[in-house]
Amino acid sequence: MSRISKKFLDLKKSKKTCLISYITAGDPSISSTPEIMESLVNSGTDIIELGVPFSDPMADGPTIQRACERALKQNVSCFDIFDAVQTFRKKDQTTPVVLMGYLNPIERIGYEKFSKLASESGADAILVVDLPHEEATDIVNIFRKDNLESIFLIAPNTDLSRIQKILKYASGFLYYVSLKGVTGASTLNIKETREQLKNIKKAVNLPLAVGFGIKDAETAKSLSKDADAIVIGSAIVKIIEQDQNDKIKINNGIMDLMKPIRSSLDESVHTGG
């Protein structure tokens, strides 16, 4: 059983919602990335999404775009990120790590080489933002050979027939983008999102995560009633941006943000599949 499947199974037994946290690898530095990953786990994170910095992150809002720019200025590469995951794995063998990014850096390295190195580093899954399922057969099969799961995004305008096609390629969990916009947006309609989540959950056989626009405990708790996982991203990256040179402030800021979210999710009895 994969780390991701085990995590969702354990949380389901405890009737808890999975908390997924995103950071951009290499921000504020690649050497600090494993430490921040540890801080996320200590503050209640169940799965870590590690962003692979890219020059044109089309799905990311200004906060994460700036994080990518800061990392790229330091010449952070995929190889550096593999090393960071490997360092994290020396202390943590159980927390799943998803590498989230775009196709271009993977193609530059080569599908097979990227997949092999990602797996060897201790990563569990890959989410390629700009990879539609129609073009995913080759890369998904390569990932499968290296025991890497493939996470796919679905949007508010993704109809159920298309979701069924995506499920043939997806594993680990499905990531529902809660709004038509970029990360960090503030136009989230809770009622509408909950209705959409309910409809999707009836049709899918994978855990359903929801992200984009979730910034606080109240929103997380509300959406957790109809999702298996809540994703927090831009709010964490903003903390890192504000305190670039102060590890203690970054750690404390992450704790102050995430612990109330973790507590609110634990207060909500989750019975979803």
Blockwise average pLDDT, block size 10, the chain, 273 residues: 96 96 97 98 98 87 93 97 98 98 96 98 97 96 98 94 96 89 59 92 94 89 94 96 92 96 83 41
pLDDT for position 129:
95
Q: At what angle do helices 190-201 and 217-224 cross, to 10 degrees?
A: 30
Residue with tokens 């044109």: 56
Q: Is 266 a catalytic residue?
A: no
What is the C-alpha to C-alpha distance for residues 204 and 227, in angstroms, rounded to an integer?
Answer: 12
* Set 38, 60, 149, 228: catalytic member: 60
pLDDT for position 212:
87
Where helices occur in 176-246 by DSSP H, the ranges are 190-201, 217-224, 234-242
Q: Which residues pair with 210 in a beta bridge?
A: 176, 230
* Set 27, 38, 46, 49: catalytic member: 49
Q: Is 60 a catalytic residue?
A: yes
CA distance readout (Å), 131 to 14, 120, 137: 34, 23, 10
pLDDT for position 185:
47
pLDDT for position 245:
83
